[in-house]
């Protein structure tokens, strides 16, 4: 049950419909010159999906506080006008939106002609690789006033609350920590004086908004930095924030520069809850929010049941599924955030517009049906494969009454309920039930088309069926489960164990359109000894329960890293000895910035060996022989050799659909494996559905 999580809550005078708060996320289009339309649409979609209190991405209280160029600054009247529209529309729809008041301090990465970053002391930032200017005392007092002015704006613009951004290592944290506050004046020198800035900000914000306006303080419960703020100071600080007027404390964990992963998939869900509990113990009755790496309402329920915490903040899960709360309430499948960070945090880190791997609609809420390619997709994606027939001209082609199935097993034949009553609905075949094909089928069915999916494998899922075996990636199976459940609900027929090949021209002719989403095949480079029985490609290795004790992985991309992670997972018996052999000198160079270091640290912890600059590979029955980057000949003992040296498009069907002359699109790995990732594949599936 979800009794606790769905019970109404309260922050100050603000009544909340349930115990979930949507945490702040910087989206990258806060400052788009569209009168706030896209931003309002993003929040309205979440309101419609049952979100209670939502916190906006940061709004800088001054130009120097902006995180990246293009960040919204509250002194900018045009930005405030957009916010007024957003707050007004969300309020009119019954939503609750808190404005987050933000100052990046030394993390700011200004444009060349932007203001210099400022901080308590001139301590270089590993995030911006800049050294900030140390603030004079008068400058500190001015920033306190900036926060107060920002809070006043928030109330005036029609927001329901404010959240003060005091976590993640931004300015307020920089004052609190002895690592970044080296002052010896009223704003630093001992814990009491280091706390003073955050406390002064809360007091000033409270004075600006009055007694009845809800003020949430986002604070760091544990900065995860050696020599950082100690636990006693955190507890004292929390009490001081409450005394200064905070109505609730939202507890973050870690700074952006902390050497400990906090939100990556390698972090077990709910891992950081005890940090919030320590803060709760310090402040007693005041509402305290747990956050970080909580992606299901059932987890939130367990947190509320097992602790004295009052509320749970979830952020990325609302990107993945705007209807997270409503679907959970109704017991319907949820599109779970898999903590990949690929389309959200990694993009945000480089100042790009955010989306979501498993939900390509993020950022397009204002125009969900438009044919424009989603952010991050190459709009020319299918340009080399033009539609070969006019889709409207093929509407009178005979419909497959019931697709003819030649190959057993045939499972999961969908229900008979079809959504085909929609005017203009046409018949589409999607070939391939990996993430791209399933997404295309889902979006086509939502648009009212009659969709049939053919999958050669016995199960849908494609590459995600491999990924979900990797430690920390089990939730990738949820993406498949969600999409297949949605297909069933939408009346899509899914045939598994049914390849579509060159001989199926007649079958393809029955459709008005075909989406080719046949994925990839592993590349098997010509390798002396490569045909030996203990050499296998990555696809079989992922599903092979009989890997030897000494595993050599040939390849240096994300799949090789995933395999090494899987093979080195502690289990029964002595630990496996895993060696990665890569040609280049940088492992997984394309893995996202937020995730790569955490994954590589985990491999180091498991004593996975990495050999770079590998040449002259030769496999024999018990070793791989090679020349390494230093020119030295080496033999790596191995009883299993896994080749993860790239992929090739599985695109044989493309010729057939061209010959048949049916409207088609080729998406995902079947189109191109260069630079392929799941974000692109799923976005292409979505774009193809819109293009039909
Ligand atoms: Fe979650 Fe990945 Fe989507 Fe980000 S991109 S919200 S981490 S699923």
Task: Name the residue with tokens 């912890």.
Answer: 605
Phi, psi of 172 (to 5 degrees): -65, -40
pLDDT of residue 4 exceeding 70, the answer is yes
pLDDT score of 107: 96
pLDDT digits (tens, 9 = 90+) for 29-62: 999 999 999 999 999 999 999 999 999 999 999 9
CB 344 within 8 A of CB 358: no
Pocket test for ligand 1, best of 337, 352, 359, 363 (most atoms within 8 A of CB): 337
Check whether 419 has a pLDDT greater than 60: no
* 80-94, 398-412, 447-461: the lowest-pLDDT one: 398-412
Whole-number percent of the chain with pLDDT over 90: 84
Considering the domain architecture, whether residues 639 and 654 belong to the same structural domain is answered as no
Residue 562, helix vs strand vs coil: helix
170 is catalytic: yes
Ligand 1 centroid to residue 443 C-alpha, Å: 19
For residue range 374-390, what is the model confidence (pLDDT) as tens digits?
Answer: 444 333 333 222 222 22
Q: Do 555 and 480 share a structural domain?
A: no
- Shortest-distance atom of ligand 1 to CA 336: 8
**Do residues 506 and 545 share a domain?**
no
* 189 located within any domain: yes
Per-residue pLDDT at 418:
37
Q: Could you tell me the two tokens for 363? A: 């950022």
Residue 357 Cα, ligand 1 centroid: separation in angstroms? 6
pLDDT at 274 over 70: yes
User: CA dist 681 to 399, 430, 451, 684, Å?
Assistant: 28, 14, 19, 5
Closest to 363 in 3D by CA, of 26, 689, 94, 80:
26
CATH of the domain at 312: 3.20.20.70
Could you identify the atom of ligand 1 that is nearest to the CA of residue 339?
7
Of 521, 520, 493, 519, which is closest to residue 507 (Cα–Cα)? 493
Phi-psi region of 168 (alpha: psi -120 to 50; beta: other; left: phi over 0): left
Q: Which atom of ligand 1 is nearest to the CA of 679?
A: 5
What's the confidence (pLDDT) of residue 371? 52
| pLDDT for residue 570 | 87
Q: If you take atom 2 of ligand 1, which residue's CA is the nearest one?
A: 340
Assess if residue 301 is contained within a domain.
yes
Q: What is the per-residue pLDDT for 576?
A: 92
Q: Is 90 exceeded by the pLDDT of residue 518?
A: yes
Is residue 209 a part of any domain in this protein? Answer: yes
Residue 132 is given by DSSP the state P
- Is the same domain home to 661 and 639? no
Q: Give the tens place of pLDDT for each residue, 173-214.
A: 999 999 999 999 999 999 999 999 999 999 999 999 999 999
Average pLDDT of span 682-689: 97
Q: Which domain range does residue 178 map to?
A: 9-337
Do 301 and 5 contact (CB within 8 A), yes or no? Answer: yes
Q: Which atom of ligand 1 is nearest to the CA of 319?
A: 6
Nearest CA to ligand 1 atom 5: 356
- Please determine, for residue 406, whether its predicted confidence score (pLDDT) is greater than 80: no
What's the average model confidence in pLDDT over 248-277? 92
267 pLDDT above the threshold of 90:
no
Query: Tokens 């306006």 correspond to what residue?
Result: 213
Q: Specify burial of residue 569 (Cβ count, 10 A radius: 0-12, 13-18, 19+).
A: middle
Report the pLDDT value the prediction gives residue 396, as an integer from 0 to 100. 27
For residue 429, list its beta bridge partners. 452, 514
For residue 357, give the ligand 1 atom closest to its CA.
Answer: 5
Residue 265: pLDDT band with limits 50, 70, 90: confident
Q: How confident is the model at residue 370 (pLDDT cuts 50, 70, 90)?
A: low
Q: What is the 3-state secondary structure (H, E, C) of 483-515?
A: HHHHHHHCCCEEECCCCCCHHHHHHHHCCCEEE
Q: What is the pLDDT of residues 330-343, one digit of tens each?
A: 999 999 999 999 99
**Shortest-distance Cα residue to atom 3 of ligand 1:** 356
SS3 state at 139: helix
Ligand 1 centroid distance, CA of 487 (Å):
21
Say if residue 633 is in the same domain as residue 656: no
In this prediction, residue 382 carries a pLDDT of 30
Model confidence pLDDT, tens digit, residues 614-649: 999 999 999 999 999 999 999 999 999 999 999 999
Q: Same domain for 132 and 179?
A: yes
Q: Which residues lie below 8 Å from residue 607, measured CB to CB, with a gap of 6+?
A: 568, 575, 577
384 Cα to the center of ligand 1, angstroms: 30
Which pLDDT score is estimated for 387?
Answer: 26
Residue-level pLDDT at 423: 62
**Mean pLDDT, the chain, whole residue set:** 90
What is residue 399's predicted lDDT score, i.e. its pLDDT? 29
Residue 373 belongs to a domain: no
Respond yes or no on whether the N-terminal peptide bond of residue 409 is cis (omega within 30° of 0).
yes
Please choose, from the candidates 387, 393, 486, the residue with its C-alpha nearest in 3D space to the C-alpha of residue 444.
Answer: 486
Domain membership of residue 374 (yes or no) is no
Contact between 646 and 590 under an 8 Å Cβ cutoff? The reply is no
Residues 511 and 546 in one domain: no
How many angstroms does the Cα of residue 358 sit away from the middle of ligand 1? 7
| pLDDT tops 70 at residue 293 | yes
Q: Which of 170, 476, 511, 538 is catalytic?
A: 170
| Ligand 1 midpoint to CA 315 (Å) | 10
Please report where in the chains the tokens 């000033």 appear, as a residue.
204
Q: Is the pLDDT of residue 167 over 90?
A: yes
Please report the pLDDT score of residue 380 as a whole number: 30
Question: How far is the centre of ligand 1, averaged over its atoms, from the C-alpha of 633 (Å)?
Answer: 43
* More confidently predicted of 572 and 589: 589
Say if residue 321 is in the same domain as residue 458: no
Tens-digit pLDDT profile for residues 650-661: 999 999 999 999
> Rounded to whole angstroms, how far apart are CA atoms 551 and 534?
10
Q: Each residue of 220-244: pLDDT tens digit?
A: 999 999 999 999 999 999 999 999 9
The CA distance from 18 to 502, in Å, is 54
3-state secondary structure (DSSP) of residue 83: helix
Please state, in angstroms and rounded to a whole number, the distance separating the CA atoms of residues 2 and 301.
6
Residues 488 and 577 occupy one common structural domain: no
Domain boundary among 337, 361, 383: 337
Among the residue ranges 192-206, 479-493, 592-606, 638-652, the one predicted with the least confidence is 592-606
Angle ∠(208,212,217) on CA atoms, nearest 5: 65
Identify which of 293, 300, 303 has the alpha carbon closest to the alpha carbon of residue 329.
300
Do residues 44 and 325 make contact, with C-beta atoms less than 8 angstroms apart? no
Q: Is 466 part of a structural domain of the chain?
A: yes
Give percent of the chain above pLDDT 70.
92
CA of 288 from ligand 1 middle (Å) equals 25
Atom of ligand 1 nearest to the CA of 345: 4
Asked if residue 368 is part of any domain, the answer here is no
SS (H, E, C) 634-659: EEEECCEEEECCCEEECCHHHHHHHH
pLDDT at 170 over 50: yes
Instruction: Indicate whether 404 and 274 sit together in one domain.
Output: no
Q: What are phi and psi of 603, to 5 degrees?
A: -65, -40
What is the reported pLDDT for 422?
Answer: 56
Domain holding 616: CATH number? 3.50.50.60
Domain assignment of residue 159, yes or no: yes
Do residue 302 and residue 405 come from a single domain?
no
Distant-in-sequence, close-in-space partners of 631: CB < 8 Å, separation ≥ 6: none
Nearest-angstrom CA–CA distance, 387 and 451: 18
Q: What is the distance between the alpha carbons of residues 392 and 368, in angstroms, rounded to a whole number?
A: 22
Who lines ligand 1 at CB under 6 A? Answer: 316, 319-320, 337-344, 356-358
- CATH code for the domain of 464: 3.40.50.720
Q: Looking at the 3D structure of the chain, how many domains does it have?
A: 3
Which of 266, 321, 343 should be mutated for ligand 1, with most atoms under 8 A from CB?
343
Q: Which atom of ligand 1 is nearest to the CA of 338?
A: 8
Helix (H) or strand (E) holding 428: strand 427-431
Nearest CA to ligand 1 atom 1: 337
Q: Could you tell me if 181 and 315 lie in one domain?
A: yes
Q: What is the mean pLDDT of residues 264-276?
A: 89
């Amino acid at each position: 049950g979800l009794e606790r999580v769905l019970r109404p809550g309260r922050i100050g005078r603000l009544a909340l419909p349930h115990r979930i708060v949507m945490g702040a996320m910087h989206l990258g289009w806060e400052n788009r010159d569209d009168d706030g339309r896209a931003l309002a649409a993003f929040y309205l979609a979440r309101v419609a999906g049952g979100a209670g209190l939502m916190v906006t991405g940061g709004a800088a209280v001054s130009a120097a506080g902006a995180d990246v160029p293009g960040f919204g600054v509250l002194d900018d009247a045009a930005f405030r006008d957009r916010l007024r529209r957003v707050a007004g529309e969300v309020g009119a729809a019954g939503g609750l939106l808190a404005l987050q008041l933000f100052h990046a301090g030394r993390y700011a990465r200004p444009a060349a002609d932007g203001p210099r970053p400022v901080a308590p002391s001139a301590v270089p930032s590993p995030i911006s690789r800049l050294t900030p200017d140390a603030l004079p005392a008068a400058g500190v007092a001015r920033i306190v006033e900036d926060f107060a002015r920002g809070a006043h704006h928030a109330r005036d613009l029609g927001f329901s609350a404010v959240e003060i951004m005091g976590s993640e290592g931004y300015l307020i944290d920089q004052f609190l920590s002895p690592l970044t506050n080296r002052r010896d004046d009223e704003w630093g020198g001992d814990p009491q004086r280091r706390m003073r800035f955050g406390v002064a900000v809360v007091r000033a914000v409270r004075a600006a908004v009055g007694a009845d306006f809800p003020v949430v303080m986002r604070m760091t419960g544990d900065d995860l930095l050696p020599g950082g703020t100690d636990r006693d100071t955190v507890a004292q600080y929390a009490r001081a924030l409450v005394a200064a007027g905070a109505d609730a404390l939202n507890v973050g964990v870690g700074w952006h520069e902390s050497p400990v992963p906090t939100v990556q998939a390698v972090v077990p869900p709910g891992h950081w809850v005890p940090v919030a509990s320590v803060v709760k113990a310090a402040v007693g009755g005041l509402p305290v929010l747990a956050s970080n790496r909580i992606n299901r309402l059932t987890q939130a329920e367990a947190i509320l049941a097992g602790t004295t915490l009052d509320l749970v903040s979830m952020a990325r899960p609302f990107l993945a599924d705007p209807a997270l709360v409503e679907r959970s309430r109704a017991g319907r499948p949820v599109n779970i955030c898999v903590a990949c960070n690929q389309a959200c945090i990694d993009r945000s880190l480089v100042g790009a517009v955010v989306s979501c791997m498993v939900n390509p609609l993020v950022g397009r809420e204002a125009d969900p049906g438009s044919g424009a390619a989603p952010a991050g997709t190459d709009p020319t994606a299918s340009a080399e494969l033009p539609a070969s027939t006019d889709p409207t001209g093929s509407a009178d082609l005979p419909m497959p009454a019931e697709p003819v199935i030649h190959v057993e097993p045939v499972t999961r034949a969908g229900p008979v309920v079809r959504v085909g009553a929609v005017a203009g609905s046409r018949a589409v075949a999607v070939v391939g039930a990996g993430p791209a094909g399933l997404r295309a089928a889902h979006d086509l069915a939502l648009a009212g088309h009659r969709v049939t999916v053919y999958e050669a494998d016995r199960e849908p899922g494609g590459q995600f069926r491999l990924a979900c075996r990797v430690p920390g990636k089990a939730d990738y199976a949820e993406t498949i489960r969600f999409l297949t459940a949605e297909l069933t609900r939408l009346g899509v027929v899914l045939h598994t164990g049914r390849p579509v090949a060159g001989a199926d021209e007649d079958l393809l002719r029955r459709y008005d359109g075909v989406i080719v989403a046949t994925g990839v095949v592993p590349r098997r480079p010509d390798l002396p000894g490569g045909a030996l029985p203990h050499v296998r490609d990555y696809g079989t290795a992922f599903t092979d329960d009989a890997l030897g004790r000494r595993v050599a992985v040939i390849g240096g991309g994300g799949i090789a890293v995933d395999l090494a992670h899987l093979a080195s997972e502690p289990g029964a018996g002595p630990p496996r000895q895993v060696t990665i052999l890569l040609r280049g000198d940088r492992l997984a160079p394309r893995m996202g910035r937020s995730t790569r270091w955490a994954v590589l640290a985990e491999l180091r912890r498991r004593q996975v060996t990495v050999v770079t600059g590998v040449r002259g590979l030769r496999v024999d029955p018990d070793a791989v022989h090679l020349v390494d980057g230093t020119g030295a000949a080496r033999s790596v003992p191995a009883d299993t050799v896994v080749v993860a040296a790239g992929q090739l498009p599985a695109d044989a069907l493309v010729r057939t659909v061209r010959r048949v002359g049916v409207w088609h699109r080729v998406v995902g790995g079947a189109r191109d494996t260069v630079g392929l990732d799941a974000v692109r594949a799923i976005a292409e599936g979505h774009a193809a559905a819109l293009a039909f």
